[in-house]
Structure 1
């Protein structure tokens, strides 16, 4: 790692400025610290997220460019629209967070080592209990078949991971989330890093500077106290 990489103080929560992030690996901003609720909240409030593999120290990221999914421009192709009309899925909010994050960590479709380690699961489960980490669940009958989870601070939602066990279940979860956010006047989901799946749903890339300007607008956008309460969600 570069000698210029910033090491976090265990007793001080502050993060370095985004312009100190490395270009290679793209967006690596700092190392160390912990996964306490206070540090995680501060990180997401400033558009920073942790991501590290087993055996690594905690690594903190602010990539450039940054991927977002505009809630006004979610793409559903013809086959997905046909599937939505006939499928028997139902979607809920915050009714099975622990199950969703466990499936994301061990998804059968994952072809690489998981970065959702036990420390991460514990940390985000604490955030969930504090009302800042949330899950979207997709059910077929009474079986959980897909979902996603992420962190929300006011109007800012940063997606962390998703999974599916049945066709299009993760797409349905994303549609339900963006529909809920759009209804509240929230105009994007933070997707962190672009991949082919997100791009197929309409995700785009912004420069770090543009992302941070948008992010600071939505992170100060208040939502109703009940906005993230456990409930049923619409995706059609």
Structure 2
């Protein structure tokens, strides 16, 4: 179900929308109009079901990359928008940049030899993380970002990871699809609990992330 907003979006209105279970999108990069989306079925990740494959675990142990949190949020936004078709128009870009400055939007970045090769960003409210988009310019870069993101969410006390829509790629990582009513109930519970994206501190070494994942999954 899609409905059109009346006034121009503000960061505060955007947060209110997330708290109601809806999120904004644009038809394309060049379309100035933004609409609210309220899917009948929602893609979410039960945080105890995230799966790190053997190949990804080997990649994590091998190293050769750097992980950062909120190191260059705008660059992650740009990376997510750098594709033939994107819902990230100029207004959405500015809104999420504002949310980042306000402490509500965060990113995890992967770099190889100093160059940004992958990342993911989203919005936090209470113990809910609303994943917005991710990108990869190198094999497994977005999966690496996801592994460190999930570890951070677990350490920070988060209870809901909302991915909006389920894709085959996300399903392979442990994401599932739930009906709208069940999502709204989970969202209400998550909003009533505290989550802290910053408290876990710098990204942990790969071996620690793998050990915690094995204990949780």
- Mapped contact 2:31–2:89 kept (Cα < 8 A): no
After TM superposition, the score normalised by the length of structure 2 is 0.87
> SS where residue 70 of structure 1 aligns?
coil
How far apart are residue 194 of structure 1 and its match? 0.7
1:85 matches 2:55: no
1:138-149 counterparts in 2 under 5 A? Answer: 138-149=110-121
Structure 2 unaligned spans of 5+ = 210-217
Q: Which has the larger share of helix?
A: 2
Q: Normalised by the size of structure 1, how large is the TM-score? A: 0.80
Paired residues, what number? 204
**Greater Cα radius of gyration, structure 1 or 2:** 1
Structure 1 window deviating more from structure 2 (135-144 vs 189-198): it is 135-144
CA distance, structure 1, for counterparts of residue 126 and residue 116 of structure 2: 27
RMSD over aligned CA atoms reads 1.8
Aligned mates of 1:94, 1:105 — CA distance in 2: 17
Shift of 1:29: 3.6
Match of 1:209 among 159, 181, 199: 181
SS of equivalent residue, structure 1 residue 233:
coil
- Any residues of structure 2 matched to 1:21-170 within 5 Å, and which? 27-53=1-27, 54-55=30-31, 57-106=33-82, 110=83, 112-170=84-142
CA distance in 2: counterparts of 1:120 and 1:229, whole angstroms: 27
Q: Distance in 2 between matches of 1:73 and 1:174?
A: 13
- What is the alpha-carbon distance in structure 2 between the residues aligned to residue 185 and residue 130 of structure 1? 20
Contact 2:123 2:132 in 1 (8 A): yes
Unaligned runs of 5+ in 1: 1-26
Equivalent pair of 2:77/2:93 in contact (CA under 8 Å): yes
In the alignment, the residues of structure 2 paired with residue 187 and residue 88 of structure 1 have an alpha-carbon distance, to the nearest angstrom, of 31
TM-superposed CA distance for 1:77, in Å, is 1.9
